[in-house]
A and B are shown apart, each in its own frame.
Chain A
C-alpha cells in the first residue's frame, strides 16, 4: 500500500500564481487533513474533511480552498500565492474521527516556496 501520497514534493511559485497540492490515499479513509508547518513552528490545521463532499476549516484556512469529490483525493488549492504561504504542507488521513481508534497517517510533505 502506498498510504498517503502528496505531489509535488517541491515547488517554487511566483507571487500571485495559483497551484494545487495533490493528496491521495489508498486506505479508504474517510477523514483527511491538510496541515502546514512553518519554520520553528508546529503543524497547524488548514482544512479537513470527514468524508466525500464534506469539508471544514481548520485553524489557518485563509488563502486556501479544498474539495473532496472522492474518498481518495483531497486537493489543496492556493489561488493567489503569497510569501506567507511559504511552508511545508502535510496531508494526513484517518479511518475514523476517534483519536483512540486511529492514528493519523501522514504523507511525506510538500515544500512550497513563494517568491
Chain B
C-alpha cells in the first residue's frame, strides 16, 4: 500500500536556524514521484518540488534543499537560515506512475508538519 509519513507534527525554530522536515514513504511501484507542498496561513497549496524515483541527486533551490534516499525511503526537506515567511504547513506527497495500471496522477499526502519560525 502507498503511504506517506511525516512524523513531525510541529516544529518551532528561531529565525536564521536551519530546519529539516522529514518524510518517509511506502510504495510497491518502482516508478513514482515525490512532492513537497507548502500551505501558508492563507490556506492555498504551493508546489515546491517534484522528484522521480530514478533521480536521487539532491536538489538545492535558494535556501531550500531536498535529500532523496531510496535506501531509507525518505525525501527530507531542509530550510537553511529560516525566515518568518517560511512559517507554514509543509506536506510531502507521493504519486505512482502506474506500474500496476494506468497512471491517474493521484496524490497521497502525509499529514503535514507545521513549521513556526519565531522572529
Contact = CB atoms under 8 A, between A and B. Distances in A.
A104 B9 contact: no
B105 A43 contact: no
Contacts of B112: 40-42
Nearest to A109: B43
A4 B3 CA distance: 27
A98 B91 contact: no
Nearest to A50: B104
Interface of B: 4, 6, 9, 32-33, 35, 43-45, 47, 50, 52, 91, 93, 95-98, 102-112
Interface residues of A, number: 27
A100 B50 CA distance: 8
Given A42-B4, A42-B93, A97-B102, 7 more contacts: A42-B109, A43-B109, A45-B108, A97-B103, A99-B105, A99-B107, A104-B47
A100 B34 CA distance: 10
Contacts of A74: none
A102 B50 CA distance: 10
A50 B111 CA distance: 26
Interface of A: 31, 33, 35, 40-45, 48, 50, 58, 88, 90, 94, 96-100, 102-104, 106, 108-109, 111
Given A50-B104, A102-B105, A42 B98 contact: no
Contacts of A41: 111-112
Contact of A98 (B43, B105, B109): B105
Contacts of A100: 33, 52, 97
Contacts of B95: 99
A97 B44 contact: no
Contact of A43 (B32, B50, B107): B107
10 contacts: A31-B105, A42-B110, A42-B111, A45-B108, A48-B104, A97-B103, A99-B50, A99-B107, A100-B33, A109-B44
A70 B97 CA distance: 26
